Chain A
Amino acid sequence: MTEPTVLYSESALPRRTGRGASLRLKAASVIYPLVSVLLLLALWYGLSALVTPRVMPTPGMTVRTFLVVLREGYILSDIAITFARILGAFALSMLVGIAVGSALGAVAWFRNIFNLWVMLAASTPSLLYIVIVYLVLGLTDAAAIIGGALVVAPVITFNVWQGMKSLDPGLSEMARAFGVPRWMAFRRVLFPQTLPFLFAAARLGLTITWKIMIFIELLGRSSGVGYRIQQWYELFNMERVLVSALPFVGLMLLFEVLVVRTAERALFRWAREEAS
């Protein structure tokens, strides 16, 4: 009787763990981001020197103002209010986008009728949605959230639809050939295939939502980061404009790095080249 032979063993895989390689890794993870931030600060200082600090405050001045503003306290409630509106609009747009995108992918008559609607919705200027929703619902939080969701939903819809198109019929056939029950096939074979697309849609959706929400607030709300930017803009106070906006930018960046990237790594471990 012949024993089955193993073609490859794990130890045969090449591995780069020399000292040079680890130093290079350190350089990539510490020095490059540091250089990147320093360059940005240098650019800021240069710009400030060019147009005078009265027009463009230096980073130092901005930080000092930030500390003052922090003591005044309004900035935290601004951020909290804007964040809540973003979450509301994001959740609503995901709900609509997943429902409509799945229907477009799965139901032929739905696709034939509403394909045009989605294209129309995607090419409508964001400003038009916001103005229309404010006119219909008044200058309310509900209007801000629905307006934001309307802007983002088409993008998510298209992403989910793309995900549906990329489903591998071969895997579904495999599941049927092995008699995998329908609900289990949906949960374990179909749904995981759409996950990368859902994730990409969520990521893109969140980015667009938070950018558009500042604008929505600026147009029709009297609270939040967008409103505050407008207030200082009308007083021509650049320092306060920057201090109103930058902490929020930083927060969203942190969210992207800590939450989104971590989730991505955990979810798509299997797609990475190196075995973990």
Chain B
Amino acid sequence: MSGIAVAFRNVRKTFRTREATVAALEDVSVALPVHSFTAVVGPSGCGKSTLLHIAAGLDTRFEGGLEIGEGARPQAYLFQAPRLLPWLTAAENVALVREARGERRAEAVKAADGYLRLVGLAGSERRYPNHLSGGMQQRVAMARALAVEPRLMLMDEPFSALDELTARRLRAELVELCRRSPRTVLFVTHNVTEAAFLADRVLVMSARPGRIVAEVPVPMERPRDYDDPRVAAVAHEIMRHLDLSQPAAGGAQA
């Protein structure tokens, strides 16, 4: 194994709308080392989520190369919304992704209870998503992601719809979960402080067409303090790169 979980090689992605062809990603080349935590920040519509889609294999219509190493499967996906099935209990939601991998339902549910305990949801296993708060629902989604024992975790602004207090708790738990069993993480966000707090390195993307304009390493030990001035300093540096990349508005080409 090369030590690379996922590598994008000169990836270019265009969307065809009625009026024009819009370039979402332009010449993106980046490699994710195994067990690295990479955050991607950029303005909305810069193709951050497209990058995740491509890595997940949900989007196969792009130009360029994608290398998926041994350390990238199985994969898990965490979305901005929990995307739980409302007619299944918390445990059944988590169990579903294990059943999809061939496990029998009874065993899958039993395993699901364990993952729910891991994210602090012991006692809520038999409750329906509608009866859980937004933060608890996102915890269920986190348990579901962990339940496939992923080597690659793709996260698309998973904490941005939560209140700040809940988001902070979940971020701290994510760091702890990654410490206990290391995984490769690709984490998309527009929150620069969150990126600086979580990641080993932060990729800064420009507005359309999305390209990587800077790579900011975060050489800090964990656990970190969200209010640490060093985190704020990294966030500041990310912000500086974002500002530089701002003027590239529009980007539509006929």
Contact = CB atoms under 8 A, between A and B. Distances in A.
B127 A174 contact: no
Nearest to B80: A170
A135 interface: no
Interface residues of B, number: 43
Contacts of A270: 86-89, 128-130
B213 interface: no
B166 A170 contact: no
A203 to B, nearest CB: 18
Contacts of B27: none
B133 interface: yes
B131 A275 contact: yes
Given A170-B79, A173-B58, A4 B87 contact: no
A268 B76 CA distance: 29
Contacts of B97: 178, 180
A134 B63 CA distance: 62
B190 to A, nearest CB: 19
Given A6-B120, A6-B121, A271-B86, A178 B172 contact: no
Interface residues of A, number: 34
B75 interface: yes
Contacts of A17: none
Given A1-B176, A4-B120, A7-B133, A184 B100 contact: yes
Contact of B81 (A9, A170, A275): A170
A4 to B, nearest CB: 4
B28 to A, nearest CB: 20
Interface in A1-41: 1-10
Interface string A55-86: 00000000000000000000000000000000
A188 interface: yes
Contacts of B122: 6
Given A4-B120, A5-B169, A275-B127, A180 B86 contact: no
Interface of A: 1-10, 170-171, 173-181, 184, 188-189, 192, 195, 268-275
Given A171-B85, A174-B79, A181-B100, 13 more contacts: A3-B120, A4-B176, A6-B120, A6-B121, A7-B135, A8-B133, A170-B79, A170-B83, A177-B75, A179-B101, A184-B100, A189-B85, A270-B89
18 contacts: A1-B176, A4-B120, A6-B121, A7-B120, A7-B169, A178-B76, A178-B97, A178-B144, A180-B97, A180-B100, A184-B99, A184-B100, A195-B87, A270-B87, A270-B129, A270-B130, A271-B87, A273-B130
